[in-house]
Amino acid sequence: MIMANNVSGHYKRSVSSALQIGFGNVGGIVASNIFLQSEAPRYTTGYGVSLSFLGLCALSSTVLFFGIKRENKKRGRGERDYRLEKDDAHNMGDDHPSWRFTS
């Protein structure tokens, strides 16, 4: 999934894209501290942490996928239409009931 497709409004989209890139770059900092020279050539700590984070990412992505599907179904059934009664209904972005998330 592309994060920018699931965020509406230029402020939210720019901040979310910056956060995504920032968290991605933290991987380099983490990698330089978990691949210990004393464990060469097997690097059990480094590969163990990397594999754990890959599992966490897979689990989080799966939960997000089904959460997005569920939210889109609720919006399709009209369960979010009450939001249109607010004063700022014209400027709701991805909170608007007609907005659909991509998966």
* Residue 86 φ then ψ, to 5°: -75, 160
- pLDDT tens digits, residue range 79-92? 999 988 888 878 88
Query: Which among 25, 23, 3 has a CA at the least distance from the CA of 14?
Result: 3
pLDDT at 94: 87
pLDDT at 1: 52
- pLDDT tens digits, residue range 25-41? 998 899 899 999 999 99
- pLDDT tens digits, residue range 28-77? 899 899 999 999 999 999 999 999 999 999 999 999 999 999 999 999 99
Q: Which helix (H) or strand (E) holds 36?
A: none
Alpha helices in 1-103 (DSSP H): 10-34, 44-76
Say whether pLDDT at 8 is over 90.
Answer: no
What's the pTM?
A: 0.82
pLDDT at 69: 96
